[in-house]
Amino acid sequence: MAPSWQRLGLYTCLLKRQLNDGPDVIKWGRRVIPGWSRGIYSATGEWTKEYTLQTRKDVEKWWHQRIKDQALTVSEADKSKPKFYVLSMFPYPSGKLHMGHVRVYTISDTIARFQKMRGMQVINPMGWDAFGLPAENAAIERNLHPESWTQSNIRHMRKQLDQLGLCFSWDREITTCLPDYYKWTQYLFIKLYEAGLAYQKEALVNWDPVDQTVLANEQVDEHGCSWRSGAKVEQKYLRQWFIKTTAYAKAMQDALAGLPEWYGIKGMQAHWIGDCVGCHLDFMLKVDGQVTGEKLSAYTATPEAVYGASHVAISPSHRLLHGHSPLKETFRKALVPGQDCLTPVTAVNMLTQQEVPVIILAKDDLEGSLDAKIGIPSTSLEDSALAQTLGLSYSEVIEATPDGTERLRGSAEFTGMKRQDAFLALTQKARRERVGGDVTSDRLKDWLVSRQRYWGTPIPVVHCPACGPVPVPLEDLPVTLPSITALTGRGGSPLASASEWVNCSCPRCKGAATRETDTMDTFVDSAWYYFRYTDPQNTQSPFSAALADYWMPVDLYIGGKEHAVMHLFYARFFSHFCHDQKMVKHREPFHKLLAQGLIKGQTFRLPSGQYLRREEVDLTGSDPVHANTGEKLEVSWEKMSKSKHNGVEPEDVVEQYGRDTVRLYVLFAAPPEKDILWDVKKSHGERSLVGCSPRGHKESHATEHAHMLNYMKHETGEDPACVKTRQAA
């Protein structure tokens, strides 16, 4: 189906140009659109007299395949043209498109079409974020395999997208649950591991004591109970895989300045990362002078003054007191609730070799989201007070010179340096020696990526009793998911039950070993998919540098605001990492962001809070009332949802109005960033959506129309109503 803009722009343009230079228009018009009448004359040879819904559908049907064919013929890379990469966030294959999908994909389709008309080389790819817990749960409920459920959903949704007339670059389709994709997710994981950016440590997980299984946050209800067993969920420490996102905190915080077209989202990213003023440093723990093998990482906002440390403080909820640490009992014995307690454990700073005592603090909340920090009396009054109370020894390491600059003393090689210089030198040295030193905030935590789930990318690591964790050699990738048919949702990681798959030989010493049975968070799959689209069939590497350098960065990335923080953060992290691995020239993956608004439906609620169905509401009076009881209702606009009975199905509205009308409506009913209020009264009945403005929305549709025009003008510096089709000229 012709995207509305093409037609609208074209007709306005033809009209204008007909007044000026007719012959040129005809030649041009013929090339672009054979038979440019609004009727269905081209197909029937008859002029229709009335413009009905059926006329519209006939026209749409006639155009459907033609537009798709046209989209296909321009998708080959012609590098003499400027490129434009428009990307909409790929969907989770739930099996059903909703109106939010219709909106986001209509916007990307329209922009792609528009940029093609401007003579750009455009890709507008589509794929499937296909791993994840919902498929696993659906499989358990329906007695299906997650793969067959996912694949049939993909087939159905691809058809639905096609019925909307969307012209995606289907030759670039990717599916994250297929081995030809997740092989490269595993490859990138190993690259992170080799760079010291993937590691294991104990962390809290939600534990269902009845089903004996780990639960995802979304499986814990608002009362803190398991979604299935109903048992009170416990917090339990388990060894988990992390990706060290804090290593890029400062680089990612600084790079935000170079993203002028991220608008509101930039502030949210900055807030998520926090002020990057300090770093973590690693400590080895000792008891009675004996090295224990236990390590501790602690934060300080003034690492330059670390030679003046008096102690390392941990919170009473720290994993060392609750997990499986060999020091747990020692710490517990030393703990006096409500008091700052000195423990017999000491911590050796792995950078300075200084040894200081470990303290358990009385308070549980340290700054930000920290659970361990370095006590430095020279730079903190609070630390100074604590050191005096507990009688800890320390030295002053900062002195002010007569000219007012602060310099270090008693700090080994950093002695005599200005504080700022010492900060840089010390953090750099720590990074070089891999004992911390990444400049980050007291807020950002590393990314916990392991899931005790089946339907995800297997973590490509083998555990060997002799060698410890060993990454699977790159040439042995992918580590494919074994086919497990009897998923129960109970017990530990489902992969642990596939004993033939689990038992393997160690890649290093060839001895008997076992595979890692955790899978990766689906956010890992979607953290690099935009790269894969640039080179989707590559069998030698995740993507070629040349193709990524040509297509990246994504010129326009469109998606929901709900992904403003996590997804965009992880995606930026992977891009920064790939840049440092010399896999791609650009550091930042997305040039411009468009966070599209929601489509909201009207909800009708009884005073009890119960949501009513449409047919239970009497809309004939001035205020909606309960059709049976006449009770007054609370009316509001909320995100469309089944439980609130305020949704519409894309298939129904397309059937009712025609696909072009629906697409045109979602484009101009509100500026793309704003919410659309889908009017119940007006969209019911025979009245066309086009020309009707959502109720409650103050602007006239002419103004809204102008919004979209302005938006596109702003995008390109050109007026879409007058753009020429350069490729056709």
Residues 468-507 that bind Zn ion (CB under 5 A): 506
* Range in contact with Zn ion (rule: CB under 5 A) among 180-188, 395-403, 431-439, 459-467: 459-467
CB of 74 to Zn ion, least distance (A): 53
Q: Give the pair of three-digit tokens for residue 572.
A: 């930026």
Judged by CB under 5 A, does residue 372 bind Zn ion? Answer: no
CB of 462 to Zn ion, least distance (A): 8
Interface pick for Zn ion out of 362, 425, 467, 625 (rule CB under 5 A): 467
DSSP state of 480: P
Query: What is the C-alpha to C-alpha distance for residues 520 and 555, in angstroms, rounded to an integer?
Result: 29
Note whether 305 and 408 are within 8 A (CB). Answer: yes
CB of 197 to Zn ion, least distance (A): 22
- Closest to Zn ion by CB, 154 vs 462, is 462
Q: Which helix (H) or strand (E) holds 312?
A: strand 311-314
Residues 674-703 that bind Zn ion (CB under 5 A): none
Query: What is the C-alpha to C-alpha distance for residues 467 and 486, in angstroms, rounded to an integer?
Result: 33
Judged by CB under 5 A, does residue 509 bind Zn ion? Answer: yes
- Closest to Zn ion by CB, 509 vs 729, is 509
HSE, CB side, 13 Å, CA atoms: give it for residue 421: 11
Q: Which helix (H) or strand (E) holds 44?
A: helix 41-44
Query: What is the C-alpha to C-alpha distance for residues 708 and 253, in angstroms, rounded to an integer?
Result: 32
Interface pick for Zn ion out of 243, 251, 464, 617 (rule CB under 5 A): 464
Query: What is the C-alpha to C-alpha distance for residues 548 and 116, in angstroms, rounded to an integer?
Result: 20
CB of 472 to Zn ion, least distance (A): 12
Binding-site size, Zn ion (CB under 5 A) = 6
Measuring CA to CA, which residue among 662, 569, 513 is closest to residue 109? 662
Note whether 186 and 472 are within 8 A (CB). Answer: yes
Measuring CA to CA, which residue among 312, 448, 449 is closest to residue 373? 312
Judged by CB under 5 A, does residue 376 bind Zn ion? Answer: no
In angstroms, the first-to-last Cα distance of the chain is 22
- Closest to Zn ion by CB, 66 vs 508, is 508
Query: What is the C-alpha to C-alpha distance for residues 459 and 449, in angstroms, rounded to an integer?
Result: 10
- Closest to Zn ion by CB, 193 vs 533, is 193
Q: Give the pair of three-digit tokens for residue 1.
A: 């189906």
Query: What is the C-alpha to C-alpha distance for residues 683 and 693, in angstroms, rounded to an integer?
Result: 10
| 26 burial level (CB within 10 Å; 0-12, 13-18, 19+) | middle
Tally of CB atoms within 10 A around 102: 24
CB of 465 to Zn ion, least distance (A): 7
- Closest to Zn ion by CB, 460 vs 720, is 460
Q: For residue 234, list its beta bridge partners.
A: 207
CB of 260 to Zn ion, least distance (A): 51
* Single-letter code of the amino acid located at 466: A
Judged by CB under 5 A, does residue 466 bind Zn ion? Answer: yes
* Single-letter code of the amino acid located at 715: E
- Closest to Zn ion by CB, 412 vs 509, is 509
CB of 434 to Zn ion, least distance (A): 22
Measuring CA to CA, which residue among 65, 297, 73, 309 is closest to residue 169? 73
CB of 510 to Zn ion, least distance (A): 7
- Closest to Zn ion by CB, 107 vs 459, is 459
* Range in contact with Zn ion (rule: CB under 5 A) among 275-283, 461-469, 532-540, 607-615: 461-469
Q: Give the pair of three-digit tokens for residue 615.
A: 């047919």
CB of 507 to Zn ion, least distance (A): 8
- Closest to Zn ion by CB, 323 vs 507, is 507
CB of 509 to Zn ion, least distance (A): 3
- Closest to Zn ion by CB, 40 vs 506, is 506
Q: Give the pair of three-digit tokens for residue 460.
A: 């490509």
Measuring CA to CA, which residue among 708, 557, 587 is closest to residue 125? 557
Query: What is the C-alpha to C-alpha distance for residues 181 and 90, in angstroms, rounded to an integer?
Result: 14
Judged by CB under 5 A, does residue 508 bind Zn ion? Answer: yes
- Closest to Zn ion by CB, 463 vs 705, is 463
CB of 511 to Zn ion, least distance (A): 5
CB of 342 to Zn ion, least distance (A): 41
- Closest to Zn ion by CB, 516 vs 704, is 516
- Closest to Zn ion by CB, 265 vs 513, is 513
Query: What is the C-alpha to C-alpha distance for residues 219 and 208, in angstroms, rounded to an integer?
Result: 10
Interface residues with Zn ion (CB under 5 A)?
464, 466-467, 506, 508-509
